[in-house]
C-alpha cells in the first residue's frame, strides 16, 4: 500500500461503505422472499446483490484513477435500478407495491445528484499536488482567466 493510498483511506472506506449500504436492502428483501417461498424472486435478489458487490470493488476509483466518476458510477446505478425493478416486480408491480409512476422521479432524481456533482472528477484529481481536472484540461492556472 503506497503513501497516497494510506492518506486516502477514509475516501476508500466511504466508497465501500456507502455503496454496500446502498445495496444492503436487496439481500434483506431477498431473504424475506425466500422465507415466503418465492424462490425465484429471492434467488434473483441474492444474485443481484452479488453482482453489486463485485461491481463495488471492480469499479472502485482507486483502481481506475484516470477514469471520470460518472463512468465508474453508471454500472452501479444500473444495478441499483435493476434492484428497484426486481423489488417492484417481485411485489407484483407498481400498483401492488403502493407506488405510482409519478412517484418514481421524486425517488430517482435525488439519487442521481452525485453524477451531476462529482461526475467530471477523477480519483487522481484528489491527489495532493494535482490540479483539478478543469485547470489541467484548459492549461490555465487557478485564479486566472476572464469572468
Give 51-94 pLDDT, tens digit per residue.
Answer: 999 999 999 999 999 999 999 999 999 999 999 999 989 988 87
Q: What is the arithmetic mean of pLDDT over 103-130?
A: 82
Listed by start position, the domains of the chain span 3-131
Helix (H) or strand (E) holding 108, with range, is helix 103-111
Q: What are phi and psi of 131, to 5 degrees?
A: -70, 155
Question: Distance between terminal CA atoms of the chain?
Answer: 42
- Residue 50: CB atoms within 10 A of its CB come to 12
Amino acid at each position: 500500500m503506497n503513501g497516497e493510498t494510506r492518506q486516502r483511506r477514509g475516501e476508500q472506506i466511504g466508497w465501500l461503505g456507502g455503496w454496500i449500504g446502498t445495496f444492503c436492502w436487496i439481500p434483506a428483501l431477498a431473504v424475506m422472499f425466500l422465507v415466503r417461498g418465492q424462490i425465484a424472486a429471492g434467488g434473483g435478489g441474492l444474485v443481484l446483490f452479488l453482482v453489486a458487490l463485485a461491481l463495488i470493488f471492480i469499479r472502485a476509483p482507486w483502481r481506475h484513477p484516470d477514469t471520470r466518476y460518472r463512468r465508474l458510477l453508471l454500472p452501479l446505478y444500473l444495478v441499483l435500478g435493476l434492484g428497484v425493478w426486481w423489488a417492484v416486480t417481485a411485489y407484483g408491480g407498481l400498483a401492488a407495491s403502493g407506488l405510482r409512476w409519478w412517484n418514481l422521479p421524486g425517488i430517482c432524481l435525488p439519487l442521481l445528484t452525485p453524477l451531476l456533482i462529482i461526475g467530471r472528477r477523477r480519483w487522481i484529481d484528489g491527489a495532493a499536488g494535482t490540479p483539478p481536472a478543469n485547470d489541467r484540461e484548459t492549461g490555465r492556472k487557478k485564479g486566472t482567466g476572464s469572468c
